[in-house]
Chains A and B, each alone.
Chain A
């Protein structure tokens, strides 16, 4: 699969990574190279094969749906670049 410049820009935007015009050509060739290489999976007959969802057959444990942790908002926001009164601060979002 070869991707074009527009696709590179679209993927970067979906991934929320800003790219410069000068980045596009390099990314196009690298991403195309990788996507070309994974095409070899099409040689494998996977008809009727279940996709893997877990490597071990173990059942996930369940616990009671109760609060076991919390009351530490200050610790949670401690690493935020900007916070105020234990809230995260972001640029104004207008829909």
Chain B
């Protein structure tokens, strides 16, 4: 069993096509792993075993007939932010606890249309607002990783798997699925990937359709995969991406064959290293790893250049105006009338207010209120318009950099994974988790996080590569070089099995 669930997506695909294994056998192995691990990890909020086995059965029939589609019979986890037809979709919020969509998200439909098997829905921060998965209405996700304790035994401290896609990152790292879908508004794919030793890519804004994904901040939200390897991420993004008439911001451009670009290396590639990312609060070991990443790319034939992205430090405060503003408007739809939970009041306004008081968690309320404030009469210019101007400058920084370099290398997070409760006391401290990832969303660029090594505590660290618009191909090529140089970063002990 363990050997089946430990396969990469690409290996599993090969074995299925060679008829060495069956999709039903593979799916069953993952369902058993989930059953054993989920009471401890809480990565899945719903397991759709029956649906998974039915999909696997169809996959086996197609594989038998030699009619396999791209992802035929490959079991994956699906973030609960994606609407799934006939399957409860909560966005990990109480307000949507009973919501059963009558439609499938476009990205989900793309995956199932290519034969992928859905194991279940994955935990996330409520409405994808958070960096630790602690704000979920289904409770937090426990990282499969543990810190080194005293006397060489692992510490019992529960670590966060990052967020908002914490269920995705934990499930992939713990071998509960071959890969997972995720979404990224300010770092929600890349930060959890970094903290769990997995690969996560947020593609260029417009690369994937947002249709049927519960909206947080529409000018920043993008779908992407979390996977065990760069190759697996490339295979998945190729299926997830593409134009969709139902999302006018999805771009009508052909999707390149990302897998075909792998193995080409970085010879002659110009890699930018931005001075401004050497921020206060950057841990020494993350800095060292960054230098190591620079050396790896240089050894592989890349040319390293120091660059300047002068508005970097303003990306996070600008984000915390733009994202809450869009969230306050997007989440206005949860009024207890059309869907979700209603708490009856004396009149319609009272009903709205009571419904939203009971339905939303603290962080969601905070962001809605910040958004409401910055958009309110008299403050719009001072906050929202100012932030959108700063956003233009952040994008210009990158536009200037692309004159000199092909890709930018940074750490993904300033620190390794933290423990439960360490950052929940002060919202600002949690927001700082996204300091290196949020610039990428503000500029609409693609970014990938690749596992690059372990911290002194024995927990994973990631490096981020940022690319030109729609140049995900280069991110996969360079990411693969980092991945090979760093070697495998895998969970040492499946302690939830009692070992």
Contacts and interface: CB of A to CB of B under 8 A. Distances in A.
Interface of A: 3, 7-8, 11-19, 27, 30-31, 33-35, 37-38, 40-44, 46, 49-56, 58, 60-61, 63, 72, 75-82, 88, 90-93
Given A16-B349, A76-B102, 12 more contacts: A15-B372, A17-B356, A17-B369, A27-B366, A44-B311, A44-B314, A79-B338, A81-B339, A81-B341, A91-B344, A91-B348, A93-B348
A51 to B, nearest CB: 4
Contacts of B99: 79
B22 interface: no
B469 A56 contact: yes
Interface in B89-115: 98-102
A17 B355 CA distance: 8
Interface in B333-380: 335-342, 344-354, 356-357, 360, 365-366, 368-373, 376
A12 B369 contact: yes
Interface of B: 98-102, 204-206, 219, 245, 248-249, 251-252, 311, 313-314, 317-318, 320-321, 328, 332, 335-342, 344-354, 356-357, 360, 365-366, 368-373, 376, 383, 385-393, 395, 426-428, 443-444, 469
A17 B395 contact: no
How would you classify the secondary structure of chain A's contact residues: helix, strand, loop or mixed?
loop
B357 A17 contact: yes
Contacts of A79: 98-102, 338-340
A50 B370 contact: no
Contact of A11 (B248, B357, B373): B373
Nearest to B379: A1
Given A55-B395, A56-B206, A63-B245, A90 B348 contact: yes
A82 B371 CA distance: 29
A16 B349 CA distance: 7
Contacts of B395: 52, 55
A19 B357 contact: yes
